[in-house]
Amino acid sequence: MREFDAYFLMEEKDVIEYAREKLSLFQDDSSLHCKEIGDGNLNYVFRVWEEDGSASVIIKQAGHTARISDEFKLSTNRIRIESSVLMLHHKLAPGLVPDVILYDDVMNCCVMEDLSSHQILRTALLDKVKFPLFVDHVTTFMVNTLLLTSDVVMDHKEKKERMKNYINPELCEITEDLVYSEPFNDYKVRNDLSSLNKAWIEENIYGDPKLRLEAAKLKFSFMTNAQALVHGDLHTGSFFVTKDSTKVIDPEFAFYGPMGYDVGNILANFIFAWCNTDAVMEDGEEKASYLAWIEETIEGIVDQFSSKFLEAWENHATDIMAGEKAFDTWYLRTVLKDSASIAGLELIRRIIGIAKVKDITSITNENDRARAERICLTVGKTFILEADRFQSGHDFLKALKNEASLEVLKGD
């Protein structure tokens, strides 16, 4: 049996040996199986299970480069951050993250609860499944993990110590490049423009100085505004779901940054789901019903987040100045403004940059896909350039529907 006292990148056969050696979960004489199931951009994810189905786990290992591209040289420290964040989130938002069974700082592995009974939210949305409890779950998760890790609630010295633990420069650099820089510049190495929108992007994204200025401001806010411990990658591929359960996964991008980064990301990804539904479903009651549910979800994320945020502020705020009249509503307004801006960044970068989303790329009709891209780009610009005016779910939804209704998007 291979010893695991020095790091190497494991294959499936190695993971079986690793599970036998490191975990007491499996019986000594059991027949184990392993499959690499990762579909993300960074890490390797293995499912290990006993043949009789009595036990199973997920083993996630970090490599020295990203799976998306060998250009991204990364420290395997990200798996320490992910394991630590999952354990903290388990305390702050119990029931909404998978249980961590083991963190191994030699093999750079995290062993966690197997969520095979769940499915990835993005996949479920592409299959047009509704999740009536998702809004309640995701807004509870965001309020508990964001507000409760901020200076509003935490002892300020303790918060600063925690910030040191979650310094994440390499993954933050990926975000700084892929979200804040490359989509606003003619970065031919990694940007990937569709032919039908290429000229429009060159004129209206690369060639818009007001938009580029706002993107510059947002980039430096991302790098300097250590507001709360953000998940850092809260898109619809970072949730496992059933009709009555939601589990947030993959916080390897976590660091202390602006709260709106998480809120804006999940909002943008439901707009991707809306655009996919609008493009691929035949007109009729089924399509109208699913679009209505997505629209209710977009509104609910903003409005339930806001109401829960203010309630949690009243119950948990400790800083003496946080009790000043109207400070809580002012603070929330800044978070929602950031959420709009960051939703805009996410909408634009997933169309222009290297890291696409299946919601858009799976649209087979070229004209329909180009229209969906244009909706994302124009809504994204609106969110960034007019961020101050987005303070309710209705505000976000109205902008989406307005841009989708423009004649130019139906024809040109």
Query: Over the stretch 32-81, which tens digit does the pLDDT of each residue have?
Result: 999 998 876 678 999 999 988 889 999 999 988 776 566 777 788 889 99
34, with CB counted inside 10 A (0-12, 13-18, 19+), is buried
CATH number of 119-410: 3.90.1200.10
323, 317 in Cβ contact below 8 A? Answer: yes
Closest CA relative to residue 310, chosen from 159, 143, 145 = 143
pLDDT of residue 74: 79
pLDDT of residue 383: 98
Greatest C-alpha distance within the chain: 66
How far is residue 148's CA from residue 154's CA, in Å, rounded to a whole number? 7
How far is residue 140's CA from residue 381's CA, in Å, rounded to a whole number? 28
Sequence-distant (6+) residues with CB within 8 A of 237 are: 39, 40, 120, 121, 122, 250
Number of H helices, E strands in the chain: 15, 10
28, with CB counted inside 10 A (0-12, 13-18, 19+), is exposed
Structure tokens at 371: 């229209």
Q: Which helix (H) or strand (E) holds 330?
A: helix 327-352
pLDDT of residue 54: 83
How far is residue 249's CA from residue 116's CA, in Å, rounded to a whole number? 13
| CATH superfamily, with its number, for domain 12-113 | Phosphorylase Kinase; domain 1 (3.30.200.20)
pLDDT of residue 173: 95
CATH 3.30.200.20 boundaries in the chain? 12-113
pLDDT of residue 407: 45
Which regions in the chain score pLDDT beneath 50? 407, 410-412
Sequence-distant (6+) residues with CB within 8 A of 46 are: 10, 12, 15, 34, 35, 36, 37, 38, 58, 59, 60, 61
Distances (CA, A) of 244 to 94, 120, 136: 15, 14, 11
CATH 3.90.1200.10 boundaries in the chain? 119-410
Closest CA relative to residue 350, chosen from 138, 195, 190 = 190
pLDDT of residue 406: 84
Angle between helices 366-385 and 393-405 (to 10 degrees): 140
How far is residue 320's CA from residue 318's CA, in Å, rounded to a whole number? 6
